[in-house]
Structure 1
Amino acid sequence: MRLALTRVMVVLTLVSGTVYVSWRWFFSVNWENWWIAVPLVMAETYALIDAFLFGITMWRARRRGEPPEPPDPRHTGVDVFITTYNEPVDMVLATATAAQAIDYPHHTWILDDGDREEMERAAQAAGVGYITRSVDWVDQPRHAKAGNLNNALFRTDGEFMLILDADQIPDRRILHRTLGYFEDPAVALVQTPQWFSNVTDSDPLGSQAPLFYGPIQEGKDGWNAAFFCGSNAVLRREALMQLGIVGYVRETERAVDRALSASGRLLNRSIRRARREEDPAGPVLVSVRDAVLQARAELDGGAPLADVTYGFQRQVDSAARTLVQDDFRAIAADLAAIEDLPVEIDQELGSVVIDEAALTRLAERDWSPLGAVESVRELIRVVDVDRSDEAQPMMPLATVSVTEDMATCMRLHAAGWSSVYHHETLAHGLAPEDLRTMLQQRLRWAQGTLQVMLRENPLVQKGLSVGQRLMYFATMWSYLSGFAAVVFIAAPVLYLCFGVLPVNAYGLTFLALFAPYIIFNQIMFFVVGYGVRTWRGHQYSLALFPLWIRACVTAAANVWFGRPLGFVVTPKTRPVGGTRFPVRLVLPQLVACVVLVLACVVGVVRLWTGVTDSYIGTGVNVAWVAYDLLILSVIFEAALFRAPQPEPTEPTEPTEGQVV
């Protein structure tokens, strides 16, 4: 019943939205003020596309019931990985102790990327496995958390892996409630929600994310596109290792292709020179160049890499032998020519003197192009199959982004694997407790997601279904909202203060088309999120507009120009001090609010004094300002938030899974 009602509201929202935005483009853009009119209608179009993507997500929302029974532990090996870098030893040990208490047989490992002696001693004392980076990683790219996990994958052998962040205390039944899904041999991932025990009901920092860890993940699950979120997830080793092998082969193929491309350019130059000089070896060079073209075509056609390189090397060897035979004949002729040179002995200097004219003829002699062919053969021979620029030839978890989870999951789906979202709280973690930490975390998420979009756009990735492409793209698309937010803030200010009309007229036609769209849209969100607090997420999607814009700019600079992003581990401890209001963190939003309030006052005064006579236009824009202020207010609430001091409690046994 709820899914049917959701679909009805999705249809009403998208139909009314399409009618409104079409009217805006074709009949209401005020081209006289195109510089704000066009950005505004583009921002409205962006919002409509966002609504389309959300509606498609919710169209097939899947609410799973009881999970299948777990497999026989006698035939199933499980590793529990606890990733850490600089978190307090006590915190990591608390997570490890809870992990050891998990009912299902397993082996617990602390993956310490900080390589701390005190952490190793604590792990040994607790009887927990301890893994840090091998010496192979010295002076090599580390790839943050992805590198830490990739290192551990080659030092353990469990069939399945439960991945936990350092602060995520697992429920003792977490494996019982998730492993049963892997009875389906196509399942590579089971993701559970991230739930935070230090967040109040009001959650001013928006960390709990009940809309994502609920309706959105259930919607993606309906399209077989539930995301891996980095923690509280179980993965199948076979699936990850397959990704590592495929990635290794693809990287080697790219290296061979680059070597073949360079060989083609070298040969083309040699062929042009041979033709100019009428070198009889020209046809041999052409045959080698044709072999290069054939090898590249075979690679593009999916031929096995070993077969391609072997066949190509044989053709080059054959050409080289032909040239060597010609060289021997040329050398014999050269020796004969040298013997015929006029030579005399300078009695005073005691040295041989060769006739200058004869020496010039010898220097101008046409020598064999064997060197060009040898260069081609060497280019292919030295392809770095060991990937010396990396600590490991194979990297099962993706390293193209600072958010390794999304990139890895997208590759799993593209390879034909399935994922599951199990909507039950099976681990309790710690959320950021101040605005600065929260902003660092959100910036990293946004940057990583946009890195994936720019490097591996899901819309063009082979292997993904149409639904999967849209589910990944929907998340990436959402981080572009910062640019639309700037326009939505600027447009009412320009109208109220200066009478700049981006729309031809604010009249009854505008209200008749806009009102149904916005009403249906809000009802759709109410139906989808019934019983779930979704307002915080909606506020932050717009209120963090400076952060989203920064993420777009920095991610693009990283992907296109190689500028480093840096990697900041989200602090898991309570910040010291920080009682002052963090003006610098919220300055853009503060300026926007002041400007909006002033614009509202100016607009009312202009209407009262008769400078403008559009009651509908002024009313719509004042309401627009009020809505913007309501949205932006969350950032100031977050800036003022001070996490309550935890009360000392006696240790308790982990409780059974809490259904969200």
Structure 2
Amino acid sequence: MVFSLRITFRIFLLLLCTITTISYTVLRAQYTIDQRTPARIWYTTLVVFLELVNGVAFLLMLLERVRSNASPGLPIPSSKRVPGDVQRSSSSTLKATDLNEVADKSNIDAVWPTVTILITCCGEDPEVIRGTVLAAQRVRYPVASKVQVYLCDDGKNLDGIPLHVDDLLPIVLDPSAFSTVRAPPIYIRRKKTPSVPHHAKAGNLNHALKCTPYSDFVAVFDADMQCDPDFLLETVSRLCEDKQAAFVQTPQSFTNAEESSARDPLDTISRVYYNVILPGWAAWGCTPCAGTNFLMRRAAIDSIGGFPTGCVTEDYLMSMKLHGKGWTSLYLNKVLARGLAPENIKDLFRQRSRWAKGNLQIWFNHNPIIEPGLTPIQRLLYMSVGVGYLNSALLVFWMVIPIFHLITGILPIFLQDTWMAYIIVAQLLFTQVAGIFLSIPSGGDQFTEHLLSFWSSSQFAWMFQYYHAKATIVSFLGRDLSFKVSDKGGPQRSHVSASLRLTWFNLVVSVIMLAALAYRIVLLAIKAKNTGLNPQDVQYLLSAVFILNIICVQSQVVFLAIKDNILRGCSHIFVLVWQNLSLFGVGAALCILAKLVGFSDV
């Protein structure tokens, strides 16, 4: 395995971060536990534990991002290219036999694989579904008859008749809508029996596989994802080239979202995920499936018995099962399908809560550490998903710490020597810089866009920590998780009241933090009037800066809930800049406090 100088440096930086994080945690546990009372021992130990979880999540995040090996988009094979004979050359380009060398047309038909396109829907707006079906029907392929489109309707009621069947049937039965020689799309629906688990999207896809003819490859799209005409030409060639690859994943793109990271405060289009994380996983040969916009090898999905059920994020669980069976997966970092992003807080919370619950469900029920067949790197990568959500859930405790300090005056850290304060500041700044550096794709451009995306994704954890904590508890208790589809398209209606109800935690936390800050200010004012302040009172600057940071982030969620649209250009550069400058403020406060009076909270 040959690494470039840049990748080698990034791996070295990962190793350095690992060493410094381990050393820092050992020093914190050895020198900063307050042993004056049992209560203080438990409190300061809890803080060290929270830092340990944060450090593990940070290192796993770096592992995801240390390499980048996504295919940039190889040349599209023309109709005179046969994918059956492709080979990988030394320059990693495709080679194929020219059809002029083929004896007759029957051989042409034989070498191009058959493809089934499955479009899953579950109550979305019929006009949105219509656009997706028509886009799939118009996809280009050298042998048009070898591609068949199926609309897999999974309506919400349980009597076997989808709620909107009358709206959907004209989409697939109107011959005038299709001008190609390909057969019209076929409508599929399944009967749902009350009290019998139907397994949501995974059950819908498995039902489709059972009632459709066998094909070499299966493409899957959500109801709003309209594929480009070249989708199959781009993806089929990859799977024909790499016989060990189970599927090739392409990114999601959204027609209703801002392209600029500065105007997408909640990272609704997941820039970091598709531009940094997936390329990093692809470098290890284990790209996870994103649930839509992918082409699957039918033999691969059959090898694990179909799409896994019992989990609302069947895509990640399927990926892990396939990798455990020895399959690899590919990532083609080229937009080949475009859909609709959630437009309000209500739908975004519903979507991200489902992701959190599903991935934590996998973490608790199919833990990657004991999942058979995975390589050590694959185990760590799949662990990173659950650890990331768990770390976000534990941010609830981090929000309590400054409140507790302002009210009681008890610091979460006990230091007798000032040198440890400088180590804390150095570790804080080093990890921030390392995280930013490794989040910029290797050889990538648009530095500012990637930097803003990194900051947006990091503050996202602070905005949704309550729902990640709730998802952790629900998943740990093993409760059944319902599958709710995000509203996309259709008539616009107000979601302000519903969105505000979902942001109650963000609002309550902001109010409590302001109250705690006001309480401490009043006490300091009284003290200044009676006895005067002393240098030790600078300790409260730590919590004040931290609280203003959190309030700034939490207020964004409430503002966007009132605005009722998270996609209409709301610049949040000020929040991002303040959030990161506040880190330096915390570091400066630590150094000042250590220099003046040490860290006693007496």
Q: In the alignment, is residue 568 of structure 1 matched against residue 472 of structure 2?
A: no
Q: In the alignment, is residue 217 of structure 1 matched against residue 278 of structure 2?
A: yes
Distance 2:417 2:545 in 1: 15
User: What is residue 539 of structure 2 aligned with on the other side?
Assistant: 617
Gaps of 5+ in 2: 78-82, 85-107, 156-161, 179-183, 441-446, 569-602
Shift of 1:459: 0.6
Distance 1:564 1:63 in 2: 36
Shift of 1:541: 1.3
Larger deviation: 31-40 or 161-170? 31-40
Q: In the alignment, is residue 120 of structure 1 matched against residue 184 of structure 2?
A: no
Shift of 1:11: 3.6
User: What is residue 345 of structure 1 aligned with on the other side?
Assistant: none
Shift of 1:7: 3.2
User: What is residue 632 of structure 1 aligned with on the other side?
Assistant: 554
User: What is residue 97 of structure 1 aligned with on the other side?
Assistant: 134
Distance 1:506 1:100 in 2: 71
Distance 1:208 1:645 in 2: 10
SS in 2 for 1:142: coil
Tell me: CA distance 1:506–1:540, structure 2 relative to 1, closer, same or farther (3 Å): farther
> Which TM-score applies when normalising by structure 1?
0.70
Aligned residue runs from structure 1 range 632-651, under 5 A:
632-643=554-565
Tell me: CA distance 1:67–1:586, structure 2 relative to 1, closer, same or farther (3 Å): same
Larger deviation: 102-111 or 566-575? 566-575
Distance 2:533 2:498 in 1: 40
1:236 to 297, 311, 329: 297
SS in 1 for 2:248: strand
Shift of 1:602: 3.8
Aligned residue runs from structure 1 range 252-271, under 5 A:
none
Cα deviations by residue, 1:445-493 (Å, 9 ceiling, x for unpaired): 1111111112111110110000111111101111112442122111111
Distance 1:644 1:208 in 2: 11
Give the aligned residue type for 1:568: K
Contact 1:607 1:614 in 2 (8 A): no
SS in 1 for 2:267: coil
- Greater length-normalized contact order (CA 8 Å, ≥ 6 residues apart): 1
Aligned residue runs from structure 1 range 76-87, under 5 A:
76-87=113-124
Distance 1:607 1:517 in 2: 31
Shift of 1:168: 0.6
Shift of 1:606: 4.8
Q: In the alignment, is residue 40 of structure 1 matched against residue 39 of structure 2?
A: no
Contact 1:83 1:148 in 2 (8 A): yes
Contact 1:243 1:412 in 2 (8 A): yes
Task: Determine which structure has more spread, i.e. the larger CA radius of gyration.
Answer: 1
1:15 to 1, 14, 19: 19
Shift of 1:614: 2.3
Give the superposed CA RMSD.
2.5
Contact 2:256 2:567 in 1 (8 A): no
Distance 1:188 1:39 in 2: 43
Distance 1:581 1:92 in 2: 26
2:394 to 469, 475, 484: 484
SS in 1 for 2:234: coil
Distance 2:6 2:555 in 1: 32
Q: In the alignment, is residue 512 of structure 1 matched against residue 573 of structure 2?
A: no
Tell me: CA distance 1:631–1:23, structure 2 relative to 1, closer, same or farther (3 Å): farther
Q: In the alignment, is residue 188 of structure 1 matched against residue 246 of structure 2?
A: yes
Tell me: CA distance 1:37–1:457, structure 2 relative to 1, closer, same or farther (3 Å): same
Tell me: CA distance 1:138–1:627, structure 2 relative to 1, closer, same or farther (3 Å): closer
Shift of 1:134: 4.5
Tell me: CA distance 1:644–1:60, structure 2 relative to 1, closer, same or farther (3 Å): closer
Aligned residue runs from structure 1 range 299-310, under 5 A:
none
Give the aligned length: 491
SS in 2 for 1:86: coil
Shift of 1:185: 1.0
Shift of 1:509: 2.6
Give the aligned residue type for 1:221: A
Shift of 1:421: 1.2
SS in 2 for 1:61: coil
Distance 1:516 1:550 in 2: 33
Shift of 1:138: 7.6
SS in 1 for 2:424: helix
Shift of 1:402: 1.0
Shift of 1:584: 2.2
Q: In the alignment, is residue 164 of structure 1 matched against residue 168 of structure 2?
A: no
Contact 2:507 2:555 in 1 (8 A): no
User: What is residue 27 of structure 1 aligned with on the other side?
Assistant: 31
Distance 1:568 1:430 in 2: 16
Contact 1:5 1:527 in 2 (8 A): no
SS in 2 for 1:595: helix
Tell me: CA distance 1:505–1:448, structure 2 relative to 1, closer, same or farther (3 Å): same
Contact 2:496 2:563 in 1 (8 A): no
Tell me: CA distance 1:495–1:94, structure 2 relative to 1, closer, same or farther (3 Å): same
User: What is residue 342 of structure 1 aligned with on the other side?
Assistant: none
User: What is residue 352 of structure 2 aligned with on the other side?
Assistant: 442
SS in 1 for 2:232: coil
Contact 2:264 2:566 in 1 (8 A): no
Contact 1:111 1:152 in 2 (8 A): yes
Give the aligned residue type for 1:113: D
Shift of 1:8: 4.4
Q: In the alignment, is residue 541 of structure 1 matched against residue 473 of structure 2?
A: no
2:185 to 116, 129, 145: 129
User: What is residue 332 of structure 1 aligned with on the other side?
Assistant: none
Gaps of 5+ in 1: 245-395, 647-660
Contact 2:392 2:462 in 1 (8 A): yes
Cα deviations by residue, 1:325-353 (Å, 9 ceiling, x for unpaired): xxxxxxxxxxxxxxxxxxxxxxxxxxxxx
Shift of 1:64: 2.8
Tell me: CA distance 1:20–1:455, structure 2 relative to 1, closer, same or farther (3 Å): same
Contact 2:227 2:338 in 1 (8 A): yes
User: What is residue 287 of structure 2 aligned with on the other side?
Assistant: 226
Tell me: CA distance 1:527–1:641, structure 2 relative to 1, closer, same or farther (3 Å): farther
Cα deviations by residue, 1:396-444 (Å, 9 ceiling, x for unpaired): 0000201110111110000110101111111111011111111111111
Give the aligned residue type for 1:174: F
Contact 1:227 1:419 in 2 (8 A): yes
Larger deviation: 492-501 or 572-581? 572-581
Distance 2:397 2:534 in 1: 23
Contact 1:539 1:632 in 2 (8 A): no
Cα deviations by residue, 1:55-113 (Å, 9 ceiling, x for unpaired): 22223332434436552673211111111011121111101111112112422111111
User: What is residue 586 of structure 2 aligned with on the other side?
Assistant: none
User: What is residue 353 of structure 1 aligned with on the other side?
Assistant: none
> Which TM-score applies when normalising by structure 2?
0.76
Shift of 1:131: 3.6
Contact 2:190 2:204 in 1 (8 A): no
User: What is residue 587 of structure 2 aligned with on the other side?
Assistant: none
Contact 1:83 1:164 in 2 (8 A): yes
Tell me: CA distance 1:570–1:612, structure 2 relative to 1, closer, same or farther (3 Å): farther
Shift of 1:581: 8.4
User: What is residue 208 of structure 2 aligned with on the other side?
Assistant: 152
SS in 2 for 1:458: coil
SS in 2 for 1:190: strand
Shift of 1:135: 5.2
Distance 1:515 1:47 in 2: 16
